[in-house]
Amino acid sequence: MFEELLQAPALASWLGLLAGLLAVYLLYSSWTFQDELKRPPGPRRLPLLGNLHQLDLNWLDKSLFDLSKRYGPVFTVYLGLKKVVVLAGCKTVRQALINHADEFGEREINPLFHDFTKGHGLDIDGVCSFDAAGLQDEPGVNSGIIFANGDSWKELRRFTLTTLRDFGMGKRLSEEKITEECHYLIEEFEKHKGKAFDTTTLLSYAASNIISAIMFGERFDFKDPLLQDMVKNDQETIRLSGSASIVIYNVFPWLGPWLKIWRDLMKNVEINKQHLLQLINKLEETFNPDICRCFVDAFCTRKLSLESDAQRVHYHDDNLVYSVMNLFAAGTDTTSNTLRWSLLLMAKYPRIQDRIQEELSRVVGDRQITMEDRRNLPYIDAVIHETQRFANIVPTSITHSTSTDVTFQGYFIEKGTTVLPLLTSVLYDESEWETPNTFNPSHFLDKEGKFIRRDAFLPFSAGRRACLGEGLARMELFLFFTHLLQRFRFTPAPGMSEDQLDLTPVVGFTLSPLPHQLCAVSRH
């Protein structure tokens, strides 16, 4: 019998049987393992394309929000071959970003973010040089604050927070700078003499001047071509970064050189980098370690104060340039965009504007508005918060990545998985807001008309990656908004009714209002 088994045909049969049994065992083990490590659900995907065919790439956050209603608060989509775990709803997003801050606190460096901190993203032959395996080894990569990880990010974030506070973020010093800028902005509005105009550029210049005063120690005249060019380039970069073409580029980065949008983006980034280098070099030429004029000076002083090369490793030129680029762009766009939405909403809802101006007249009158007044202006505070909620400026946040394997709400998520906290789903969570799709300041008022805070108010995100400049932004929004409403009444352009003002956003990386004009009519 044993000799027969050794014969070739019999041996082949036995080996085949053993192989079959082994396959069944492995398949069973795989199913068992999958049960033990349950993955987030999601729609069925196609080879190579993933779920791209099921998503509206021109309004990605809306598509993902719709999918969350079908697949739950933790689900998976595939952008091509890239797996993305989406977190939806207030409870889930807060739990991940706050209670599991370390596990969900890494930044995903996708091809576009890599390009932002590497430069043009092309090698000398014009071929896209993106290589996910070697990101951290290339010059410029992992530089700055927003698109960075590890020790460099931790050190720069600590330094930046300390420096912003030293220059008055949330304090009297910042208040004085913002109040001064309010006067310049009011002067520009008054030049239109009540006639309709687009508020975009003026609000952008004003917001930009606040962050410029901190970064460079000076503000720019609104007619300064350097300011105008930097703001224009940043606005275009942020708009294009959220386009469908760039979503496709992040899936298939080899397409970059053939995409005009990508080429335009890289051109804008490089131009603004050169503008900022010009400003930084000017400051370095006049640097005095005994006098700290701005963020750039503070960075240089910090570098000099460290004793060893090991301590100075994070204080190099790339980190300075890209940190300034990050702060300048973020400090300009989101604040000015929110202010644009606020004025549009005032023209759209004149009764709300009436109530704001009544509260201002009763509490402040004609005197100078200060941050101390905010506690006595609950309705205005509610309107500003509701504007941020309703406008939903940064709908998808910036993608995160898991720092380790994590089991979250019963689902297993591997280390290195791209995670997208869907802020739209928090700010429009039907279980948190009484009328999520309506502009309703009462969301932030109790029955006595006092201001109340809400856990689902997360326009600045939360956790380790929450907005660095939240304190400064909140101060800017309050002071700019109240100064403008104290001085002007905002109405639609002649021939247009309130009902004709369209609140549909222009979708980019941030959501901005459609182009429009308003009249700023003097109240005095």
In CATH terms, the fold of domain 37-522 is: Cytochrome p450 (1.10.630)
Mean pLDDT of the 17-22 span: 47
- Give residue limits of the domains in the chain: 37-522
pLDDT of residue 170: 60
Beta strands 418-421 and 82-87 are parallel
One-letter amino acid at 31 equals: W
What is the arithmetic mean of pLDDT over 132-151? 59
- Mean pLDDT (whole number) for 379-385: 98
Answer yes or no: is pLDDT of 247 > 80. Answer: yes
pLDDT at 129: 32
pTM of the predicted structure, to 2 decimals: 0.87
Cα–Cα distance measured from residue 335 to residue 468, given in angstroms and rounded to the nearest whole number: 13
Q: Indicate if the pLDDT at residue 311 is higher than 90.
A: no
Q: Return the number of other C-beta atoms located less than 10 Å from residue 495's C-beta.
A: 7
**Which residues on neighbouring strands pair with residue 74, listed in sequence order?**
87
Read off the pLDDT of each residue in 50-55 and give the average, rounded to a whole number.
93
Over residues 87-108, the mean pLDDT reads: 94
User: Mean of the per-residue pLDDT values for the chain?
Assistant: 87
Residue 377 pLDDT exceeds 90? yes
How far is Cα 388 from Cα 520, in angstroms, rounded to an integer?
Answer: 22
Confidence of residue 398 (pLDDT cuts 50, 70, 90): confident
Residues 129, 121: contact at Cβ < 8 Å?
yes
Are 142 and 152 within 8 A, CB to CB? yes
